[in-house]
Structure 1
Amino acid sequence: MNHTPASRIAIIGAGPGGLTCARILQQHGITATIHDRDAGPDVRNQGGTLDLHADNGQIALREAGLLDEFFQLARPEGQEMRQMDPAGTILFHHVPEEGERFKPEIDRGQLRALLLNSLKPGTVRWGHTLQTISGPSEGPRQLHFTDGTTTEADLVIGADGAWSKVRRALSPAVPQYSGVSFLEAWFDDVDSRHPDIADLVGQGGAAAADGDRGLFAQRNSGDHIRVYVIQRVPADWIAASGLSPEDTDGIRALLLERYGHWSPRMRKLIADNDGLYVDRPIFALPVPHTWEHNPTMTLLGDAAHLMPPLGVGVNLAMLDACELALAIAQHGTVLDAIHAYEKTLLPRSTEMARLLDCAAEELLSTELPDFANH
């Protein structure tokens, strides 16, 4: 099967990985269609900030022809990092040097908009929630969507995240709860409304832990800060406490009790938030996660290697997308392209997943990380 313009490539998921893959394919004259379950690009908040590393995420952006535009949007000052104790004493402080661009921060929404705006009109088909995939393994594949529509594809790329529908057609693996849960809190207009928190967090990230619980605060653009309350709890801890996610006052009271020995200044990070908390239990795929080679389907990003959120997820997704797109452009058949891509993808993702296996627990440790290698 040639990767001629007539070959139909369907990418499931319009996250950074899927968008990067489509962009690089288009840079090489290859058409792909992205199907995404969202009704449109602005129907939900895309989440907080992330850092794009020079040795993976930035490589993909360079191949996509978007690196200069990225640096115009990115916040190099966001590379500042503070490690504190529960009293708020700074134990480690990294301030980026002038011109340091190894891993500048960018809001997820800004990155997604950068990628979306680089694509040809009509590349993304919104409101297309994949239900099932049918057809022979050698193709063509039929994609069945929940709105009753179907389409055919010669190659299906699963870029549809943690609970990937494409993965189900390749692998029986299911994400497992890590035992650690994040609870997200938002702070708006921080310099004027929350000056103590703005001063505590600085321009980048600030973390603290006591062995059983932790906090990670991160400045976003637009004078916002997001704080992640990190606990070793059951996945249903809110309901088990007799609360609901909408019960902000009840959750706040419970957190203030659990963090009662932390300093008043640090407790502001969990109690002075604007609006609801957002429950984010951390799931990961079993390690290693591999699948039998399939000539018409493959995976990238969290669909392929869901890991704890320790700064590698989007970077690896975009590197996967870059390598897959280049493999399609450089090989004579889709079959050869998938073989070449997975030959690199699977060992790399297995190695990284083993390094990060159970690493969510490290976020609760009182031992300082080896920042030179993290």
Structure 2
Amino acid sequence: MNHVAPAQARISIIGAGPGGLTCARILQRHGIAVTVHDRAPGPGARDQGGTLDLHADNGQIALREAGLLEEFFELARPEGQEMRQMDPTGTITSHKVPEADELFKPEIDRGQLRDLLLGSLQPRTVRWGQALDTISGPADGPRHLHFADGTTIETDLVIGADGAFSRVRPAVSPAVPEYTGVSFLEAWFSDVENRHPDIAELVGPGGAHAADGDRGLFAQRNSGEHIRVYIIQRVPVDWISRSGLTIDDTDGIRTLLLDRYANWSPRMRQMITDNDGLYVDRPIFALPVPHTWEHDPTVTLLGDAAHLMPPLGVGVNLAMLDAGELALALADSATVDDAVRTYEKTMLHRSTGTARILEGGAEHLLSADLPDLGDDHDAQP
């Protein structure tokens, strides 16, 4: 059993996404040392994805505990809460416009949120270029983390915040994500007011969704005059290669999509074919429901590593709520083991209930009725 006091423990977070960084920030605010390890060579190594909303009843709670809520509101876009539901002709069938002072779930770019969290941490908290390979050592600790660069460290608690295809998860669970049968193809549009004014007008300041039961589109306004569109299809996970194409064959994919969306209006098809640059393939995976594990005093999970679900407005919000609750449990408990037990008792119950509600929910993305596409649309690992 792990009887180490959190203040004396060596705590290692795997993954420098919103969940991992939120957990680190709150731990440091309570005087608890922590190190974050991330596989990327640096903070700007890859695109962080599109915009997301942070809800007042989960994500914003975590930011308040992190002491960053006011800074978040300075960066957030309340107008991004606007949502348009359209049919395949581009006719608006439902239009939600937020009140002038509405702040329940304002939008923020993922990159801006990550920069906010990174900037709040003590120097050298994040160790870049450290891709976790395996975890060894007894369940009651200490654990050894073996990284792909050949380094090994000893630690008292491993927190898996490393997303859908977590390298920490196998230490506590054999579960692996399963393909939902629904896939996103992401398209980017830049300088939209000048270069894509029709699309900018169609999407508006927030998000826009349209579907016909078999295929759909979801567009979201990002900061800096950018729009991302997610082309949603019920297809095999390897649909691009099955079509004899590769992801960098932009013209070939466009031709295929024009055929599949032939009954949609030319105005709507602009969001499929007028993109700047390559498409990005993002098949949607989810963990089996329920996903739980036997308590381990030296390893736990948060966010998608613990409860990967379809992207229906809960991903980042739950990850940050998990992070805040775990950090506070560590701050308030006598031992690491006590803290992990306290955290998992609440988190696993909550995530199981939410996952049951959203099970099979990827199909809702193809429904003509507007789903809650609140955050994490890009479904990155």
Pick the TM interval, shorter chain: over 0.9
Question: Any idea what SS the aligned residue of 2:168 has?
Answer: helix
What is the DSSP-based 3-state SS (H/G/I as helix, E as strand, rest coil) of the residue aligned with 2:253?
Answer: helix
Give yes or no for the alignment of 1:300 onto 2:302: yes
Task: State whether residues 17 and 301 of structure 1, in contact with CA within 8 Å, keep that contact through their aligned partners in structure 2.
Answer: yes
Return the offset for 1:230.
Answer: 0.1
CA distance in 2, matches of 1:330, 1:13: 24
Deviations 1:314-357 (A, max 9, x none): 00000000000000000100111011000000010001111111
Q: Aligned residue for 1:201?
A: 203
Partner Cα separation in structure 2 for residue 47 and residue 4 of structure 1:
33
Pick from 106, 111, 117: which aligns with 1:104?
Answer: 106
CA distance in structure 2 between the aligned counterparts of 1:174 and 1:152, rounded to whole angstroms: 26
Q: Distance in 2 between matches of 1:38 and 1:122?
A: 15
Quick check: 1:295–1:334 contact (8 Å CA) kept in 2? Answer: yes
Quote the offset at 1:365 in angstroms. 1.1
Query: What is the Cα deviation at residue 366 of structure 1?
Result: 1.9
Conserved in 2, the CA contact under 8 Å of 1:187 and 1:273?
yes
For the pair 1:227 / 2:224, whether they are aligned, the reply is no
Contact 1:3 1:329 in 2 (8 A): no
Of 137, 140, 143, 1:141 maps to 143
- Residue matched to 2:65: 63
- Correspondence for 1:289: 291
Alpha-carbon distance between aligned partners in 1 of 2:209 and 2:368, rounded to the nearest angstrom: 10
Of 361, 365, 368, 1:366 maps to: 368
Structure 2 length as normaliser, TM-score? Answer: 0.96
For 1:314, the equivalent position in structure 2 comes to 316
Equivalent position amino acid for 1:238 in 2? I
Query: How many angstroms apart in 1 are the aligned matches of 2:8 and 2:297?
Result: 17
Q: Report what 2:80 is aligned to.
A: 78
Q: Who is 2:52 aligned against? A: 50
CA apart distance, 1:6: 2.9
1:3-62 Cα distance to aligned partner (Å, 9 max, x none): 354310000000000000000000000010000000000011100000000000000000
Q: Which amino acid aligns with 1:92?
A: S
Give the secondary structure class of the aligned counterpart of 1:198: helix
Distance in 2 separating the partners of 1:185 and 1:168: 33
Distance 1:246 1:314, change over 3 A: same
Task: Please report how far the alpha carbon of residue 2 of structure 1 lies from its aligned counterpart in structure 2 after TM superposition.
Answer: 3.4
**Match 1:257 to one of 256, 259, 270:** 259
Q: Structure 1 residue 368: deviation in Å?
A: 4.3
Q: 2:151 matched to 1:113?
A: no
8 Å contact 2:88–2:212 — kept in the other structure?
yes
5+ residue gaps, structure 2: 374-381
Once residues 332 and 180 of structure 2 are traced to their aligned partners in structure 1, the CA distance between those partners, rounded to angstroms, is 39
How far apart, in 2, do the equivalents of 1:369 and 1:166 lie?
31
Question: Counterpart of 1:167?
Answer: 169
| Change in CA separation of 1:195 and 1:169 when aligned onto 2, cut-off 3 Å | same
CA distance in 2, matches of 1:261, 1:242: 24
Q: Distance in 2 between matches of 1:73 and 1:274?
A: 26
Matched, 1:123 2:125: yes
User: Would you say the 8 A contact 2:312–2:372 is kept in 1?
Assistant: no
Using the alignment, how far apart are the partners of 1:269 and 1:323 within structure 2?
Answer: 40
Match for 2:281: what amino acid? Answer: D
Q: Distance in 2 between matches of 1:144 and 1:106?
A: 35
Q: What secondary structure is seen at the aligned counterpart in 2 of 1:133?
A: strand
SS across alignment from 1:93: strand
1:370 deviation in Å? Answer: 8.3
Kindly indicate whether the alpha-carbon contact (under 8 Å) linking 2:51 and 2:107 is maintained by their aligned counterparts in 1: yes
> What SS is found at the alignment partner of 1:165?
coil
Shift of the alpha carbon at 1:369? Answer: 4.7
Cα RMSD between the aligned structures?
1.0
Tell me the amino acid that sits aligned with residue 43 of structure 1. A
- Other structure's SS at 2:221 match: strand
Q: Is the 8 A contact 1:36 1:126 kept in 2?
A: yes
CA shift digits 1:162-189 (9 cap, x unpaired): 0001101110000000000000000000
Give the stretch that moved more between structures: 2-11 or 291-300. Answer: 2-11
Paired position in structure 2 for 1:181: 183
